[in-house]
């Protein structure tokens, strides 16, 4: 097993980013093989259980009230409708069911339904993950008591670049929520978004922030920006020369995350639908071992189960051990 370090310096992480690409991939693949099955990928399904109307001003998000993206605000889904979607996801091979609500933070009146959802999904034998915004220690404890396995709260970018992406919530507030989650005994899921106009130095800072937490996140989602028209960053990409993240640079970020956080599940998240099969294959080689399945991620498009099954077949890869092999099937839309 690889030694787990939480004392990485920015200089060390920058040196990893600066390695020749083939050497970086070799090191990342070696670390991956020491700690994970190299030909298996965890399948996760993501469902928006409460869409739109979020008061935050995240520059990438179509669900912000500040965005002119056409996303309409909805109420929290009915508990039984969420459980029906979870059952469909399990039937289609998912191991983890992730649920997102567009809130700055859940209100106490929302917690009973959330708790009921967590208990119901866990009873199906699925891992549970939620992202509901900021949490108080009491709310984190309630989720832990209900049996929530993972809580997602991304740091988005480096501490230096963060305030250029969002102004309604600080990086420290995000880290406070991660601490509340950790203290409650829930596993942490935290990553960020690549391709928001940040520099290599910012990507170094992003990885450094996660890799120097007292305990590494158990899951690290690495997203490529999906530019949605009507959002600040989406309009910037449409109207200025700001370029889409280079595929090689994206793979480098995945590889550095794998080396610095060897036991974490590194997940290819948003933006995968626009990646070539070759780029995804390089990401798997670099240590990515988790993906979202289905045609939709909250409000953004996803690659789709048929495409994923075909790619897995070409690469000789399977769903994470203990699951049935991935089938070419389509996740049903959430029940009305």
The CA-to-CA distance between both ends of the chain, in Å, stands at 46
Give the C-alpha distances (Å, rounded to integers) separating 162 from 6, 11, 268, 279.
Answer: 22, 20, 21, 27
The CA-based angle 76-130-78, given to 5 degrees, is 25
Q: What is the DSSP string of 165-230?
A: T-SSS-HHHHHHHHHHHHHHTPEEE--EEE-SS--HHHHHHHHHHHHTSSS--SEEEEEEP---BT
Please state whether 162 falls in left (phi above 0), alpha (psi between -120 and 50) or beta: alpha
**Cα torsion through 52, 157, 152, 31, rounded to 10:** 140
CA 40 to chain centre: 18
**30-39 b/e with 16+ CB inside 10 Å = b?**
ebbeebbeee
Summarize the annotated binding site as residue ranges: 54, 58, 61, 98, 129, 189, 267
Summarize the annotated binding site for [2Fe-2S] cluster as residue ranges: 98, 129, 189, 267
Active site residues: 54, 58, 61, 98, 129, 189, 267
CB of 308 closer than 8 Å to CB of 331: no
Give the C-alpha distances (Å, rounded to integers) separating 94 from 48, 181, 249.
Answer: 16, 24, 29
Within 106-158, residue ranges assigned H as helices are: 111-123, 137-146
Q: How far apart are CA 170 and CA 153, in angstroms?
A: 13
């Amino acid at each position: 097993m690889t030694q787990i370090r939480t004392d990485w310096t920015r200089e060390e992480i920058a040196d990893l980013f600066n390695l020749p690409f083939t050497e970086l991939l070799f090191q990342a693949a070696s670390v991956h093989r020491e700690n994970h099955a190299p030909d298996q990928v965890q399948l996760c399904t993501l469902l928006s259980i409460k869409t739109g109307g979020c008061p935050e001003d995240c520059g990438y998000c179509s669900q912000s009230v500040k965005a002119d993206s056409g996303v309409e605000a909805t109420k929290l889904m009915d508990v039984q409708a969420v459980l029906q979607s979870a059952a469909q996801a399990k039937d289609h091979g998912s191991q983890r069911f992730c649920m997102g609500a567009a809130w700055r933070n859940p209100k106490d009146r929302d917690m009973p339904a959330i708790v009921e959802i967590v208990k119901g999904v866990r009873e199906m034998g699925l891992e549970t993950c939620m992202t509901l915004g900021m949490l108080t220690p009491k709310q984190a404890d309630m989720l832990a008591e209900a049996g929530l396995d993972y809580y997602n709260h991304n740091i988005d970018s480096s501490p230096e670049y963060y305030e250029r992406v969002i102004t309604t919530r600080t990086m420290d507030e995000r880290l406070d929520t991660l601490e509340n989650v950790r203290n409650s005994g829930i596993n942490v899921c935290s990553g960020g978004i690549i391709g928001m106009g940040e520099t290599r130095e910012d990507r170094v800072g992003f990885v450094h922030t996660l890799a120097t937490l007292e305990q590494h996140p158990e899951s690290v989602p690495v997203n490529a920006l999906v530019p949605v028209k009507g959002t600040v960053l989406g309009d910037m990409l449409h109207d200025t020369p700001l370029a889409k993240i280079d595929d090689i640079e994206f793979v480098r970020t995945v590889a550095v995350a794998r080396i610095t956080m060897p036991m974490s599940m590194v997940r290819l998240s948003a933006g995968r639908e626009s990646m070539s099969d070759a780029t995804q294959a390089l990401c798997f080689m670099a240590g990515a071992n988790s993906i979202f399945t289905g045609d939709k991620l909250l409000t953004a498009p996803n690659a789709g189960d048929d495409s994923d099954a075909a790619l897995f077949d070409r690469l000789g890869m399977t769903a994470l051990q203990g699951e049935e092999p991935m089938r070419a099937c389509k996740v049903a839309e959430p029940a009305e």
